[in-house]
Structure 1
Amino acid sequence: MSSSSPLRTLIVDDERLARSELRRLLGPHDGVEVVGEAANADEAEAALRKHEPDLLLLDVQMPGDSGFDLLERLDAVPHVVFVTAYDEYAIRAFEVNALDYLVKPVEPERLAEAVETVQERATETTPQAAVSEEGEPRRTLTAEDQVFVKDGERCWFVQLADVRLFEAAGNYTRLYFDGETPLIHRSLSYLEDRLDPDRFFRASRQHILNLRWVDDVTPWSKGKLKAVLEDGTEVELSRRRSRAFREQLSL
């Protein structure tokens, strides 16, 4: 998104009056374009695919799937500001997880602050939603994309560039970033099919490496290689993947 482009915004709330109020409050903001509305997670998923917004104003509590459930269904997410009627105790969880949120009824000043924050971030990077649908070609996930991760009561928006290692855990995958190791409900093979192969390398049945985090590669046993990440983590490459690694990096 360029600095002159409007912030393409999708409003998701099960209450029609709440959607109308958000649209009205956004009216005076020249740098914002409301591209659509949705009343539930299914409508939102379709609207994300159609409009590819820069910003998602997302109600947390909706009938059926919640706002969190929607984000967990997406392979990558745009900028998100939650809209919540949660009580004070629950709001503290948003603050601890550094999630942007607005409390209903939304105050114009707080909305303006949230929009300004997103606009500042969007001049640096504009993550786009990636929505999988059977039969459609899937967009490659780049290092600039961000994913939503929820592990118990903890939540993160994580840029893929910051994930140094992906580790298989059955039908789940463990992400390693910033000292955190949560699980996401995606298999390692699924992620391998989606991630940019020039940046993310399948090292073995158990691991995918972020090549930008590889600090050193040394010969290991029986023709295999061992990668050492910047944090000191050691990952053994299988013999077949060691050959592919040498070819890809011309070693």
Structure 2
Amino acid sequence: MAITALIIDDEELAREELKYLLDSEGGVDVLAQGTNGIEAVDLIRTHKPDVVFLDVQMPGLDGFAVLKKLLDRDHKEPLPQIIFATAYDQYAVRAFDVNAIDYLLKPFERTRVLQALDRARIRLQEIEPAPFSGDTRIGELLRLIEQQQQPQRSHSGKIVLQAHGRLLLVDQKDICFASIDEGIISVVTPTIEGHSKCRTLEELLDLLEPAVFWRAHRSYVVNINHIKEVVPWFKSSYQLRMDDKKQTEIPVSRAQTRRLRELFKL
């Protein structure tokens, strides 16, 4: 009987490469593919696969956040076998190499993929699935990962953005604004628009210079040096017209109106 699997990765080439390797091996039925963590949670709950090939770094919810969300909400359903995928050695920590967990480094090697599949088959045959909430090994792993992934607060001059299948280094001073929608953070500069690997705007703000970047709204962070115009709006509210190509208008929340007036002496 074939193993059922999901592939979750925000890089199309990585998904295609892994799908090709699994198809050529045989005995694996790839039920669906997803491009981000939000899709991952929905697909896992819908298809209940045996194995999930889960990218570590994705916009919005990363691989670790997907596991956390499943652990938090699903108390009775068994946890599928999770095989992490990552392009970065720093995430291939020893903690991955515990029961019910494996990892693959990109670009994928055929022998390593087959090894991970063999481990998954053994686990599926020998171990009765445990409910999410009772899997102490997974909980311990997540705690270890959290300790190793504390937000960097150095406020370095560069931010990494994913755009057009590439990882670009962008100067903070060039960032016009960032926004979050359905867990995915978009970052806009005068010339490009990309996605941040951060999971929340709070996490992104930890990387940015606090004297320059301002949380004007719960869904927006703006660079005050890229505000082109302050536009009066309804009921003593305001919008900010930015200097990006689209001259995007960003709402200012009522809670931040006072801060706006202080910034620009309105």
Structure 1 length-normalised TM:
0.49
Structure 2 length-normalised TM:
0.46
Determine which structure has the larger helix proportion and give its number.
2
